[in-house]
Structure 1
Amino acid sequence: MLSELLQGIETGGLLIIQDSCSYSGRDLLRSFIAAALNREEEVHVLCFDVSEDELTDGLKPPATQRLHVHNAYPDPLGWTDHPAFAVQQFRLEDLTDLVKQASQPKPATLVIDSLSWVLRHAAPPAVCRTLQQLRKGGAVRAVVALLHADMHQRGTVGSVCHLASSLVAVAPGPKGNEAVAKITKRSKSGKVAQDEETFCITEDLTVAVLSRPSSLPEAKPNGSEEEQADPTANLTFNLRLSESELEAKQKLTLPFVFSKEKKTALLHPGPGSGRILYEPDANDDYDQEDPDDDLDV
C-alpha cells in the first residue's frame, strides 16, 4: 500500500506521515516529494524544521525546476521585515496566493515540513480548518504533511489525523536501515483499509518495500511437534464422550421437554381425570366486601 501511495495521491487528499523521536519520517517525506516531481507535478514545500539545503539533498535536476521551497526556517515567526513565510500566513488565502504566484495553471501538491511547527504556534482548530479548506480544491491538488506525534497532546494528534485521507505512522524496523509503516487509507466511500509494511529508503530517495509483518504466517509442515501436541492429554477429567455415552445422551428426554403424548394428555384430560368442586353451605360466613371479617382483629 505504501508503493500505491507513492504513485500518486488522489485530488483533495491529505496524507500525514506521523513519526516520533524514535524514528524520523523526513526521509519518507522527501521520497514523496521526489515521487511527485517524477510525475511532473508542481510541488510547493513549507520548510519549518530544517534548512532548504537539507530538505532538497538528494533531489536532482531537472525535476527540481518544479520544486518551490518557501523557506520559513530562518524566520518562522516573521520577526524580520520581509520573511519568506511565517506561521501567521498559514491561512487558505495566503497559501493560495503563495502557490498561484509560482505555479503553472494546474493545481500543485503542497508539502508541509512540519505541521508540528504550525500546531505549536497556531490554534489547532484554525489549523484543522485550513487543512479542510485546502482539501476542497483550488490551487492545491493534495497535501502531504509531516507530524511529530510525541510533541502534541493525544487529542490534537487525533483531530489532525482524523482529517487525513491517508495516514502513515512510521517506527523503527528490525534492522538499522529499515522502518515499519502502519498505513491507514480512507476512501471517499468511507471504506477504511489498513496495512503494515517494512521498508527502507535508498540514497536516491526510492522506497523499497521489504515485507509485510501483518501478513499471515506460513503454514507449518504436516507432522510437526506442535500440531501433534494434545492440550487435553494430561487432564484429570474427560472432555470427550464415548459412542455409547453419546447415544445415551441423544436418547435422554429432558424434564422440561414435553413429548407429543404428554402435551395431548395435559391439554385434553380423559374421563378418569379428577376435579375438585367446592359448594359453600349455610355455615360459611363469607363477606366478599370484608374477607377478614371472621378474624378477631
Structure 2
Amino acid sequence: MLPEIWQGTDAGGLLVIQDSASYSGRHLLKSFINAALTREEDIHVIGFDVSEDELRNGLKESTTQRLHFHNAFTDPLGWTDHPAFTVRQFNLEEITHLVKQTSHAKAATLVIDSLSWILRHVSPSIVCKTLQQLKKGGAVRTIIGLLHADMHQRGTVGSVCHLATSVITVVPGINGDEAVAKITKRSKSGKVMQDEEIFTIKEDLTIIVQSKSSQTGLKHPHTEEQEADPAANLTFNLRLSDTEREAKEKLALPFVFSKEKKTALLHSGLGSGRILYEPDANDDYDQEDPDDDLDV
C-alpha cells in the first residue's frame, strides 16, 4: 500500500505522516516531495521545523524549480517587523494567496513541515477547520503534513488523523536502516484499509518495501495482550456442563406461554371475559345495606 500512496495513484486529500522521537518521519516526507517533483507537480512547503537549505538537501536539483519554500523557520511567531510566514497566517485565505502567486493553472501540492508547530500555538479546532477547507479543493490538490504525535495529547492527534485520507505512522524496525509503516487509508466510499510494511529509503529518496510486517514475527507495542480469564481461579463454578445446559434449555419458564396457552388466549370461546361471583354461606351480605360491613 505504501508504494501506491508514494507514487501518487490516489493523489488528493490529506496525507498525515505521523512520527515520534524514536523515529523521524522527515526522510519519508522528503521522499514524498521528491516523488511529487518527479511527477512535475508544483510543491509549496510551509517550513517550520527546518531551514530551506536543509529541506532541499538530497532533492533532485533539476526538479527543485517547482519547489516553493515559504520560510516559517526563521520567525514562526512574528517577533520581527517583517516575518515571512507565521503560525497566525495558517488559514485558507493566506495559504490560497501564497499558492496562487507562484503556481500554474493546475492545483498544487501543499507540504506542512510540521503540523506540530502550528498545533502548539493555534487551537486544534481552528487547525482542523483550515485543513478541512483546504481539502475541498481549489488552489491546493493534495496536502502532506508531518505530525510529531508524542508532542500532543491523544485527542488532538486523533482529530487531525480523523480528517486525513491516509495516515502513515512510522516506527523503527529491527535493522538500523529499516522502518515500519503502519498505514490507514480511507477510500471515497468510506471503506477503511490498514496495512503494515517494512521499508527502507535509498539515497535517491526512493522507497523500497522489504516485506509485510506480519511476516517478521515482531511484537508491536500496540498489540493487545491476551485477555485473562476472570473465572479461572474461583472457588465456585460459573460454567454449565452439557447435561446442565440441556436441562436448562428444556425448562419451561413461568412467564413464557406455551403454544397451546397462546392459542387458548387468542381464540376464546363464548362467555369469555366475564367474571362470575357466587357468595358462599360465610359471606355477610345485606341486600338492603351493601355497606353494612364498613365501619362508617
Does the alignment reach a TM-score above 0.5? yes
Residues 4 and 10 in structure 2, CA contact (< 8 A), matched pair in contact too: no
The alpha carbon displacement at 1:285 in A equals 5.5
Q: How does 1:135-214 map to 2 (within 5 A)?
A: 135-214=135-214
Residues 92 and 130 in structure 2, CA contact (< 8 A), matched pair in contact too: yes
Query: Whose radius of gyration is greater, 1 or 2?
Result: 1
Structure 2: how far apart are the matches of 1:195 and 1:209? 12
Amino acid across the alignment from 1:28? L
Q: Say which SS state the counterpart of residue 190 (structure 1) adopts.
A: coil
Amino acid across the alignment from 1:156? T
Residues 26 and 146 in structure 1, CA contact (< 8 A), matched pair in contact too: yes
Structure 2: how far apart are the matches of 1:255 and 1:132? 59
Amino acid across the alignment from 1:90? F
Amino acid across the alignment from 1:34? N
Structure 2: how far apart are the matches of 1:74 and 1:9? 35
Pair 1:131 & 2:131 matched: yes
Residues 48 and 114 in structure 1, CA contact (< 8 A), matched pair in contact too: yes
The alpha carbon displacement at 1:203 in A equals 0.9
The alpha carbon displacement at 1:10 in A equals 3.9
Amino acid across the alignment from 1:175? N
Structure 2: how far apart are the matches of 1:216 and 1:22? 20
Amino acid across the alignment from 1:86? T
Amino acid across the alignment from 2:156? T
Residues 45 and 68 in structure 2, CA contact (< 8 A), matched pair in contact too: yes
> 2:22 matched to which residue of 1?
22
The alpha carbon displacement at 1:128 in A equals 0.7
The alpha carbon displacement at 1:39 in A equals 0.7
> 1:35 matched to which residue of 2?
35
Q: How big is each residue's C-alpha offset from its partner over 1:22-75, in whole Å with a ceiling of 9 and x where there is no partner? A: 110000000000110111100111111011111111101211111111121111
Q: Say which SS state the counterpart of residue 84 (structure 2) adopts.
A: coil
Residues 5 and 11 in structure 2, CA contact (< 8 A), matched pair in contact too: no
The alpha carbon displacement at 1:156 in A equals 0.8
> 1:71 matched to which residue of 2?
71
TM-score normalised by structure 2 residue count: 0.74
Structure 2: how far apart are the matches of 1:112 and 1:20? 16
Q: How big is each residue's C-alpha offset from its partner over 1:163-198, in whole Å with a ceiling of 9 and x where there is no partner? A: 001000111111111111110000111100000001
Structure 1: how far apart are the matches of 2:194 and 2:13? 17
Structure 1: how far apart are the matches of 2:165 and 2:182? 14
Q: How big is each residue's C-alpha offset from its partner over 1:170-229, in whole Å with a ceiling of 9 and x where there is no partner? A: 111111111111100001111000000011111111111111123598xxxxxxxxxxxx
Structure 2: how far apart are the matches of 1:91 and 1:255? 68
Residues 195 and 214 in structure 1, CA contact (< 8 A), matched pair in contact too: no
Amino acid across the alignment from 1:125? S
Evaluate the alpha carbon distance shift between residue 171 and residue 80 of structure 1 in structure 2; reply closer, same or farther with a 3 A threshold: same
The alpha carbon displacement at 1:5 in A equals 0.3
Evaluate the alpha carbon distance shift between residue 23 and residue 287 of structure 1 in structure 2; reply closer, same or farther with a 3 A threshold: farther
Pair 1:52 & 2:52 matched: yes
> 2:275 matched to which residue of 1?
none
Evaluate the alpha carbon distance shift between residue 16 and residue 9 of structure 1 in structure 2; reply closer, same or farther with a 3 A threshold: farther
Structure 1: how far apart are the matches of 2:36 and 2:120? 28
Amino acid across the alignment from 2:151? M
> 1:93 matched to which residue of 2?
93
Structure 2: how far apart are the matches of 1:21 and 1:107? 33
Amino acid across the alignment from 2:203? E
The gaps in structure 2 that reach 5 residues or longer are 218-245, 253-259, 265-277
The alpha carbon displacement at 1:12 in A equals 4.0
Structure 2: how far apart are the matches of 1:194 and 1:207? 19
Evaluate the alpha carbon distance shift between residue 164 and residue 78 of structure 1 in structure 2; reply closer, same or farther with a 3 A threshold: same
Amino acid across the alignment from 1:123? S
The alpha carbon displacement at 1:11 in A equals 5.2
Evaluate the alpha carbon distance shift between residue 255 and residue 40 of structure 1 in structure 2; reply closer, same or farther with a 3 A threshold: closer
Deviation >3 Å, runs of 4+: 9-12, 283-290
Residues 47 and 71 in structure 1, CA contact (< 8 A), matched pair in contact too: yes
| Number of equivalent positions | 247
The gaps in structure 1 that reach 5 residues or longer are 218-248, 257-262, 268-278
Residues 10 and 142 in structure 1, CA contact (< 8 A), matched pair in contact too: no
Identical counterparts, % of pairs: 67
Residues 87 and 118 in structure 1, CA contact (< 8 A), matched pair in contact too: yes
Amino acid across the alignment from 2:37? L
The alpha carbon displacement at 1:284 in A equals 6.2
